[in-house]
């Protein structure tokens, strides 16, 4: 039976009930709803609605209910209740009789659902912070293992300049650190308690909302009842933070899919995280990485979904907002499993150093070095750039790297070139030059890693 039957003389249609009920989605808020209800029982006791004995009985029954159904969602779902709030209230009444009917005094499902969802966001957010930390740790471990493997760095997917593999790893550490700080920031803003703002206008009982907020682990109560019951910024922020983080995961996945391709052959992925083809026996496909890349799409979809749902909603609560949870739950589940999966992929990843080095040596990735060499000999950079372009054209025509030209041949392009040019064209020299802060010179990468390991 619905909680609100008195005003109605007819039952809901079956279709309406199917359409309107949110239990199949919001059953996941069982713990938050019960924890919130326990706090609410305490708050209405303070204002004289319940005696202490009644409060104790209600809180006991709520705790019992949690133990009974927490790990058995099928019991909740089988109840046919409209939503998780109705389920908890109905179950409570079934346990303690008429006393259970007092719990909803001064409360609305509007401040209740807002409270449940914020509690859930805080809990999930903390879990995601752990998982982001785990991925960062996996990247740092990979950096330690493969720091000085040399590979080509790319722009426009064209070999550009050699970089250390550890430098590539630490690039993603930077991204995931930003994700961590963004999530921490969102969680700070989600840390205000909606309970005690009623349906929209505030509760009619003179309760201490500061104490109530504190009892639920929030740092403060919210300050405006109209805003409180219609605010889903925390949902949007989590979906947004997840989208940005999934974009990072997807870029990392894409890099690794390319590194793993037969054409590049830079890395070997562990059997544990790859799969075969049902037809082609030679295949070892990077499915884990492709799914990370793929799931990014649905996370973006949920962000756009909730933004669009909230757009133009008049104050205060509207039922449209019930659509917030399905997307949010999916976003947080997808983000979590992708973070875990990415960490597992990285932990078993091996770099094929001969292939990365060979690729770094090909493709004229030392051209900038030659230009810098000419600059050191007094040639203006723009002119040096032009000269090296001509050298590269000749090298391509001869199908050989720049350093295979004899000194006399190189001097036909620029007289200032001396025999010291060969040292400067080596991969080691290319890397070693990039020693300013943030560059790929090995001492830089090592000290960047040391800083990250210290912070852990």
- If one asks whether residue 22 binds ligand ARG (CB under 6 A), the answer comes out as yes
Find the shortest distance in angstroms from Cβ 109 to ligand ARG.
Answer: 4
Tell me the H-state helices in 8-51: 14-20, 23-26, 30-46
Cβ-contact 449, 147 below 8 angstroms: yes
Active site residue 219: no
Cβ-contact 248, 176 below 8 angstroms: yes
Is the sign of the CA dihedral 222, 225, 45, 116 positive or negative? negative
Find the shortest distance in angstroms from Cβ 84 to ligand ARG.
Answer: 8
C-alpha 414 chain-centroid distance: 52
Per CB under 6 A, contacts with ligand ARG among 90-119 are: 109-110, 113
Binds ligand ARG by CB under 6 A, chosen from 83, 124, 241, 330: 83
Per CB under 6 A, contacts with ligand ARG among 303-332 are: 317, 319, 321-322
Cβ-contact 306, 327 below 8 angstroms: yes
Of residues 160 and 199, the one with the C-beta less far from ligand ARG: 199
Tokens encoding 288: 């884990």
Per CB under 6 A, contacts with ligand ARG among 164-223 are: none
Q: How many other CB atoms are found less than 10 A from the CB of residue 23? A: 17
Name the DSSP class of 417.
-
Backbone angles phi, psi at 323, to 5 degrees: -75, 0
Of residues 82 and 146, the one with the C-beta less far from ligand ARG: 82
Cβ-contact 103, 203 below 8 angstroms: no
Find the shortest distance in angstroms from Cβ 232 to ligand ARG.
Answer: 10
* Residue of 156, 181, 230, 334 marked catalytic: 156
Find the shortest distance in angstroms from Cβ 352 to ligand ARG.
Answer: 52
Of residues 110 and 143, the one with the C-beta less far from ligand ARG: 110
Of residues 109 and 293, the one with the C-beta less far from ligand ARG: 109
Of residues 113 and 238, the one with the C-beta less far from ligand ARG: 113
Tokens encoding 131: 């998982």
Residue 163: strand pairing partners: 151
- If one asks whether residue 231 binds ligand ARG (CB under 6 A), the answer comes out as no
**Cα–Cα distance between 172 and 183 in angstroms, integer?**
16
Between CA 78 and CA 85, with CA 82 as vertex, the angle to 5 degrees is 100
| Pairing mode of beta strands 192-193, 158-164 | unpaired
Of residues 83 and 237, the one with the C-beta less far from ligand ARG: 83
* Residue of 181, 219, 277, 447 marked catalytic: 277
Binds ligand ARG by CB under 6 A, chosen from 26, 89, 124, 231: 26
Find the shortest distance in angstroms from Cβ 133 to ligand ARG.
Answer: 31
In whole angstroms, how large is the CA radius of gyration of the chain? 31
Of residues 123 and 188, the one with the C-beta less far from ligand ARG: 123
Active site residue 156: yes
How many Cα atoms are found within 13 Å in the side-chain-facing hemisphere of 315? 7
Tell me the DSSP string of 75-137. HHHHT--SSHHHHHHHHHHHHHGGGGGGTTTT--HHHHHHHHHHHHHHHHHHHHHHHHHHHHH
Of residues 144 and 320, the one with the C-beta less far from ligand ARG: 320
Angstrom CA distances, 120 to 147, 234, 267, 297, stand at 39, 11, 39, 24
Calculate the dihedral angle through the C-alpha atoms of 92, 112, 86, 323, rounding to the nearest 10 degrees: -150
- If one asks whether residue 33 binds ligand ARG (CB under 6 A), the answer comes out as no
Find the shortest distance in angstroms from Cβ 330 to ligand ARG.
Answer: 16
Burial of residue 436, with CB atoms counted within 10 A of its CB: 0-12 exposed, 13-18 middle, 19 or more buried: exposed
**Cα–Cα distance between 63 and 59 in angstroms, integer?**
6
Determine the size of the site formed for ligand ARG (CB under 6 A): 10
Cβ-contact 82, 113 below 8 angstroms: no
Per CB under 6 A, contacts with ligand ARG among 125-154 are: none
* Interacting residues with ligand ARG (CB under 6 A): 22, 26, 83, 109-110, 113, 317, 319, 321-322
The set of catalytic residues is 156, 277
């Amino acid at each position: 039976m619905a909680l609100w039957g008195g005003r109605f003389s007819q039952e809901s249609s079956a279709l309406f009930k199917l359409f309107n009920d949110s239990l199949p989605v919001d059953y996941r808020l069982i713990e938050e709803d019960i924890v919130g209800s326990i706090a609410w029982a305490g708050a209405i006791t303070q204002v004289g609605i319940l005696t202490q004995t009644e409060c104790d009985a209600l809180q006991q029954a709520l705790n019992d209910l949690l133990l009974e159904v927490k790990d058995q969602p099928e019991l909740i779902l089988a109840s046919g209740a409209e939503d998780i709030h109705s389920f908890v209230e109905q179950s409570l009444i079934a346990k303690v009789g008429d006393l259970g009917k007092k719990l909803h005094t001064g409360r609305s499902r509007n401040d209740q659902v807002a409270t449940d969802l914020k509690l859930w966001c805080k809990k999930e957010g903390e879990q995601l912070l752990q998982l982001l930390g785990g991925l960062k740790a996996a990247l740092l471990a990979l950096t330690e293992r493969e720091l000085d493997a040399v590979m080509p760095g790319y722009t426009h997917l064209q070999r550009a300049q050699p970089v250390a593999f550890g430098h590539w790893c630490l690039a993603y550490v930077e991204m995931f650190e930003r994700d961590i700080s963004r999530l921490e920031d969102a969680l700070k803003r989600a840390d205000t308690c909606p309970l005690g703002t009623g349906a929209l206008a505030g509760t009619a009982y003179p309760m201490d909302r500061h104490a109530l907020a504190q009892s639920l682990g929030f740092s403060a109560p919210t300050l405006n009842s109209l805003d409180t019951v219609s605010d889903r910024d925390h949902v949007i922020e989590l979906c947004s933070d997840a989208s940005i983080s999934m974009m990072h995961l997807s870029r990392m996945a894409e890099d690794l899919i390319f590194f793993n391709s037969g054409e590049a052959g830079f890395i070997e992925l562990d059997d544990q995280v790859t799969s075969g083809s049902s037809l082609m026996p030679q295949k070892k496909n990077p499915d884990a990485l492709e799914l990370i890349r793929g799931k990014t799409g649905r996370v973006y979809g949920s962000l756009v979904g909730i933004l669009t749902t909230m757009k133009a909603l008049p104050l205060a609560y509207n039922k449209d907002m019930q659509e917030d949870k399905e997307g949010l739950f999916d976003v947080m589940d997808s983000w979590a499993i992708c973070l875990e999966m990415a960490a597992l992929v990285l932990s078993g990843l091996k770099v094929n150093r001969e292939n990365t080095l060979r690729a770094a040596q090909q493709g004229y990735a030392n051209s900038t070095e030659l230009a810098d060499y000419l600059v050191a000999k007094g040639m203006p950079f723009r002119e040096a750039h032009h000269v090296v372009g001509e050298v590269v054209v000749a090298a391509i025509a001869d199908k050989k790297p720049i350093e295979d030209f004899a000194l006399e041949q190189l001097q036909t392009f620029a007289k200032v070139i001396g025999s010291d040019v060969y040292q400067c064209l080596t991969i080691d020299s290319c890397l070693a030059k990039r020693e300013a802060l943030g560059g790929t010179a090995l001492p830089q990468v090592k000290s960047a890693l040391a800083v990250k390991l210290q912070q852990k």
